[in-house]
Amino acid sequence: MGEGVGRSALLLGALPARPQARGDGVIYWFRTDLRVGDNLALAAASASAARLLPVYCHDPAAETPTRWGFTRRGAHRRTFLDAALTDLDAALRARGSRLLQVRGAAADVLPALARALGTDRVACEAIAAPEEVDELASLRAAGLQVRAVWQSTMLDPGLLPFEVEVLPKVFTDFRRAVEMAGVLPAAPLAPLAALPPCPSLDQLPGMVQVGGLLPGAPAGAGLRRLRRGCLPVVAAGIRGR
């Protein structure tokens, strides 16, 4: 599977504007792909970057009550996310990198980070959902080159023997067409043995690295520390509290 997918409107909106050349820094934005194994987007970013900054954005919107009276991220999901990010940071550190966690919407945080790092390149996974596609559009509108790689289905949509818009409505018809075309799932991608070096975080004034829990800390402590310590991002750049 790769980038060349997306014949539906959502998939097309998630595709990169153009390929990027090796040689400068890249921000890798972790979205729901909190892993180093079987991660095509991370592998592609690593192959094209001399320096790579892995970032996760804690969007305050996830903690804000919806019009139905509940938040998108409840206590159990926060605990799971905290554990997943701790594990991800450990995996990145074992490969010579680290995870930078910041609080703010990606559309605000990533352009500010890019300016501080002197780059305009962002890589991430493609997600075929309206709000996620809008996030990519906002980043591109801010002047960033966004390379989004599709990796969310067993079969590469670009290899299907029919257009996504005319996907068979019955699974049996879908299965038969795929089998006749010889389309098979790709083998899982092995975890990268190493990652490009992480840029110095000294050039990010006011930004706090929150990589995992402190020894003996209760579940959720990492996120509580994050909420206290991480910076807000403003249109003019990055500043600490």
Per-residue pLDDT of the chain (241 residues; tens, 9 = 90+): 333 333 333 333 333 333 433 347 999 999 999 999 999 999 999 998 999 999 999 999 888 888 888 888 888 989 999 999 999 999 999 999 999 999 999 999 999 999 888 899 999 999 988 989 999 999 999 999 999 999 888 888 889 999 888 999 999 999 999 999 999 988 888 888 999 998 877 656 554 444 433 233 343 444 333 333 333 333 223 333 3
Q: Residue 202: what pLDDT?
A: 67
Under 8 Å CB-to-CB from 35, ≥6 apart: which residues? Answer: 88, 91
Distance in angstroms (rounded) separating the CA atoms of residues 96 and 10? 35
Distance in angstroms (rounded) separating the CA atoms of residues 161 and 73? 38
Under 8 Å CB-to-CB from 226, ≥6 apart: which residues? Answer: 58, 101, 103, 208, 210
- State pTM to two decimals: 0.75
Give percent helix, percent strand, percent coil of the chain, each to the nearest 5. Answer: 35, 15, 50
Q: Residue 213: what pLDDT?
A: 31
Q: Residue 235: what pLDDT?
A: 28
Under 8 Å CB-to-CB from 196, ≥6 apart: which residues? Answer: 26, 46, 49, 50, 51, 52, 97
